[in-house]
Amino acid sequence: MDDCNEPLPIHAQEGLRLFNAGHYFEAHEALELAWRAEARPIRDLYRGVLQAAVVYLHMQRGNFNGAVKVGERCLRILNGLPASCRGLRVDILRADLARALDAWQAQGPEHLHEMDWSLLKPVEWKELGK
């Protein structure tokens, strides 16, 4: 992806801050603004992170099937991205999300209260040029 060396737009930065603070609904909203404003393929980066926020939100709300369905779609998006893009460690997000989904599915819908919530990791990123 040619535009991975550009800085993140302001809405994406805000979305990542919200994601890392555990405000997944608000993170989704901010990242969706970045996604909608972008016409180039880089928009999949924002879509991947916003879908990860939706997965974690579904988990917090106990929506077993929603988390699994969105998680599978999200991993397909993230798998199509480079390991690092615009300062964001996609490879780590991909691995963290996969671990959380594996644990979620292992719990099954009857035992969601036993979920290890520490598996919902923040996104590793740094602003380019800083």
Is the pTM of the predicted complex or chain greater than 0.85? yes
Q: Cα–chain-centroid distance for residue 127?
A: 17
Ranges under pLDDT 50 in the chain:
none
Nearest-angstrom CA–CA distance, 68 and 130? 36
- Could you read off the pLDDT of 48-78 as tens digits, one per residue? 999 999 999 999 999 999 999 999 999 999 9
Domains and CATH numbers, the chain: 8-119 (1.10.3450.10)
H, E, C per residue of the chain: CHHHHCCCCHHHHHHHHHHHCCCHHHHHHHHHHHHHHCCCCCHHHHHHHHHHHHHHHHHHCCCHHHHHHHHHHHHHHHHCCCCEECCEEHHHHHHHHHHHHHHHHHHCHHHHHHCCHHHCCCCCECCCCC
What is the structure's pLDDT at 127? 73
Encoded tokens for 51: 């879908």
